[in-house]
Chain A
Amino acid sequence: MQGPWVEKYRPQTLDEVVGQDHIIPRLKRYVEEGNMPNLMFTGPAGVGKTTTALALAKEMLGEYWRQNFLELNASDARGIDTVRNDIKNFSRLKSVGAPFRIIFLDEVDNMTKDAQHALRREMEMYTKTSSFILSCNYSSKIIDPIQSRCAIFRFTPIKGSQIIKRLKIIAEAENVTATAGALESIVYFAEGDMRRAVNILQASSTIDNQITEESVHEVISKAKPQDVRKIINSALDGKFMEARDLLREVMVVQGTSGEDMITQIYREVSKMAMEGLLDQETYIDLIENIGKFDYRIREGSNPRIQLEALLTKFLLKDKQS
């Protein structure tokens, strides 16, 4: 029992990590030296930040890495107090069987500024016993004092060819076949996100052991929330309340985050433009607004209200018939 493929085929060593060639050699040097500073991994989702952190911990800490490694998810509904207590309890004790202890904090950019300041103090307090690895999507959301205490590694989206190579290895190991077209489609939709690529591959394999472009497209169309197109269409038709209710349903009940939502809206609008449903002028105007509200979502307090405001921009547009 090895879980979904994303987990089963997660690289276990630094050498196996795919597509971050500018980072891995530097990390390996830390392993050779047996010492490392605090690290910060930044980059989009699914490019190997967590995988690299886990692999690095294993190689750095050796056999007893598990006992000397603490993984914390900063983004979840956990207060800074919990995080602090966990860190405190963990860092207080000297490492056993390893040179030091490693604390891995995921999605630090989702911590409030206050929490980050508190974290900064923890980082200073336990420098003798522990090293930190922080990961985040946007380093700009991390307060400067933390950034200055870390060696920053920027992870890049994984290249298509590298994703294909990996998918082929997995497919072979799982006894499924995939056509070149299928792999190309997966890569196109994955946008450099290995997790997404592997998930699409596995989902497609449940339709058929022989993965074709069609099965991939079936998966992608199912995996993509249908509601976004509906929301956009209602707004374009001038039915604001309808669009708003659906948006609320998706965000509140299904729990889609504002950032995901706006990415999906962007994709959907681009697609509609390609399909000729929106004229160029409308399209550019909408993109301008989407960008504006994307920024405001990050600045503001309630992403849902920002997205509702974005929807009003669709009201005044006419859809091309």
Chain B
Amino acid sequence: MLWTEKYNPKNFDEVLGNAKAKDEIEDWINAWILGEHPKPLLLVGPPGTGKTTLAHLAAQEFADSIELNASDKRSYDILLRTIGEASATGSLFNQGLKLIILDEVDGIHGTDDRGGVRAISKIIKEGHHPLIMMANDPYSKRIKSLKTKCQVINIKKVHTNSIVALLKRICIKEGVDFEEHVLRTLAKQSKGDLRSAINDLEIMARGKKSITSADLEMISKKDDIHNIFDSVRTVLKSKNPQRIRDAMRVEADPAFILELITENVPREYEKKDEIEEAYEMISQADTYLGRAFQTRNYGYWKYTYDLMSLGVALSKDETYRKFTRYANSSVYTLLSKSRAKRDLRDRVADKIGEKTHSSRRVVREQFPCLEMMFQDNDLARELADYFNLDDAEVKLFRSRKIPKRKKAKPKKSSQKDTGNKVEKKESSAVVKREGKKEKEVKPQKSPKKTKSTTKKSKPSQNKDVKNLAKEKEASNEKNSTKKKPSNPEDKEKQVSLFSFK
């Protein structure tokens, strides 16, 4: 039997620390036993502080309990089935109360476990069952909505002295001789995580008569995975190099850590020169990140880590004594909010790029000019056809739909008023363009007929047939055909020219 199990508290009195939390939980249990239906409990605290132990102790007070790991998707089927059973048999008698324990509710995955959140909400709403949930990360978005529906109990880290005392008791019971400072070091290294302290002690002392400071070396320093916001907080609040270095031991991509630190620097730091200095460090950290990617020499990461943690931390004159709400990077919100917009933008850029032999980036640079070109109805129609843009895609460049050709004439006047800030000179332009417009009527009117052939032929036809001389011809033609309402041969000639080839 592992010592952590062997020395697990058997009742609430044996639980170390968190006296207030214990009282609250006992009150909550009593309320249920008295037939009340209090809100569910949400125990929030770092690992190894006794959340699970408390929940298990609470379970002893009820007739039955079921414990599920919330990050396991399947557990919700079980959960719902359990609820079903329980409500079918009816839980009128307190003796029949079944405690539901949900561990790691902050581990619920937003999309994969959608059913999970719903199931929890259902249990809470019905309120027939005592429910205790546990979470590590008090800032997790996933438990944000739960928090309002629950009684939140913060479970704090266990004080080093309490840990030392417990370790002493265990040593005595196990008959192991000890030096007090060894236990103290163990307790300190555990950082309030009782479970890991007992585990470490077991590794050092099991089957031995005594432990000395030499044994400490067996124990690798606890490589605890900090909550990433804790790390950010440490960087921004602390000036202690050791603590800051430790804080960087988080399991996250350095680019992500950098992003979060960057996001929160101006939230914590108030002086302009502090922000500037911190950003200088961030900039350099990012430079090494880039070098690492480009050269595939990830050894550069160490500079990134030092610059973004120590560099940023030491940029402040003094630590701020204030509460700062740290935020996730607004870039991520922007990204998810603008997804549809960006997709549209990229789709349009791809279509245009295909015709103009350009990358997205080059096309995007031309967007402002294109936007202006699209204000002209005829040109807009022509370009939309050429690039093969649909109505939704055209909207990227103009807010109104391109009027249909038939209606183009009557709408002309209104277009003049709203379209541009153009004055008198417009009239002549409109007349001229009208000529063009009429001419283009034809291909557009019967797009379905010719589409398949013309679409394929367009690019090559443009490239092959065209040279400047021909263009001049074409433009002359344009002028000469201005008065004709339509000239079907024009289009057909071009098509046949290509197919001939």
**A interface vs B, CB < 8 Å?**
1-4, 6-9, 12-13, 16, 45, 50, 54, 58, 63, 66, 71, 73, 75-76, 106-107, 110, 112-114, 169, 173-175, 195-196, 199-200, 202-203, 206-210, 219, 222-225, 238, 240-241, 244-245, 248-249, 252-257, 260, 293, 296, 299-302, 304-306, 308-309, 312-313, 315-316
Contacts and interface: CB of A to CB of B under 8 A. Distances in A.
A66 B338 CA distance: 38
8 contacts: A1-B440, A2-B462, A4-B386, A6-B356, A76-B353, A199-B370, A210-B425, A304-B331
B360 A309 contact: no
A12 B465 CA distance: 10
Given A4-B370, A312-B276, 6 more contacts: A1-B386, A1-B440, A16-B467, A58-B463, A75-B361, A253-B334
A315 B280 CA distance: 13
B289 A75 contact: no
A199 B366 contact: yes
B342 A223 contact: no
A76 B298 CA distance: 25
Contacts of A308: 262, 279, 282
| Chain A contact surface mostly | helix
8 nearest A-B pairs in the assembled complex, by CB-CB distance:
A309-B283, A300-B290, A301-B290, A223-B368, A199-B369, A309-B279, A203-B372, A301-B289
Interface range on chain B (Cβ under 8 Å from partner): 35 or more
Nearest to A16: B468
A312 B386 contact: no
B446 to A, nearest CB: 14
A208 B369 CA distance: 15
Contacts, number: 208
Interface in B200-257: 255
Nearest to B356: A7
Contact of A76 (B280, B290, B360): B360
Contacts of B371: 222
B458 interface: yes
Most buried by B among A2, A66, A106, A169: A2
A300 B283 CA distance: 8
Contacts of B370: 4, 199
B111 interface: no
A285 B429 CA distance: 48
B471 interface: yes
Contacts of B280: 309, 312
Contacts of A174: 475
Contacts of B273: 316
Nearest to B419: A206
B180 interface: no
A210 B423 CA distance: 13
Given A1-B458, A173-B475, A260-B365, A300 B286 contact: yes
B330 A248 contact: yes
B335 interface: yes
B376 interface: yes
B359 interface: yes
B222 to A, nearest CB: 31
B340 to A, nearest CB: 11
A169 B425 CA distance: 23
A222 B397 CA distance: 13
A172 to B, nearest CB: 8
Interface string B285-303: 0110111111110000000
Contact of A3 (B334, B387, B425, B460): B387
Given A208-B422, A245-B330, A309-B279, A4 B357 contact: no
Contact of B272 (A58, A66, A238, A241): A238
B428 interface: yes
B336 to A, nearest CB: 10
Contact of B355 (A3, A240, A302): A3
Contacts of A113: 294-296
Contacts of A114: 296
B341 interface: yes
